[in-house]
Amino acid sequence: MEATTRHDIHLGTTRMNIHDLVRELNENLGTTVVQTMAGVKDRTSPFRWAKPDGPEPRPEIESRLRLGHRVWKTLELAEGKHVALAWLMGANPRLDEELPVLYIQQLRSREVLGAAEAFVNDTYAA
């Protein structure tokens, strides 16, 4: 992935209103995946965060959601939304056979972004 694209994804995610960001994730990944990504037990949270006048997630949860958006956008732009979802929810050999969505939940940015970029670039080295 080109540095410009990576920078544009980061910039777009950072500037995006959190309610719009969650709504986009909900529409493309589903609320169950967003709930898992955020690391919350309440299944209604993704719905509430997506409402323009809804509550905002706590800072740590917002960080997870923004990381998840960056990872998803990296994959979606290169591979399409269905491949991006399958990648997020599938065991990944680059992440010790763990689910990438759990790396997002743990805020393991370097590993999960590196794995996503390696996937879209068809390289093994992160």
pLDDT at 10: 95
> Does residue 89 lie within any of the structural domains?
yes
**Residue 124: enclosing H or E segment and its boundaries?**
none
Structure tokens at 24: 């986009």
> Does residue 126 lie within any of the structural domains?
no
CA gap 47, 91 in Å, rounded: 27
Length of the chain: 126
Q: What percent of the chain has pLDDT over 90?
A: 91
Of 32-36, 87-91, 118-122, least confident by mean pLDDT is: 118-122
> Does residue 18 lie within any of the structural domains?
yes
pLDDT value at 42 more than 70? yes
> Does residue 86 lie within any of the structural domains?
yes
> Does residue 96 lie within any of the structural domains?
yes
Looking at per-residue confidence, does 3 or 80 come out higher?
80
| Total of domains in the chain | 1
Average pLDDT over residues 56-85: 98
pLDDT value at 126 more than 50? no
pLDDT at 2: 73
pLDDT at 125: 53
Q: Which domain holds residue 102?
A: 3-121
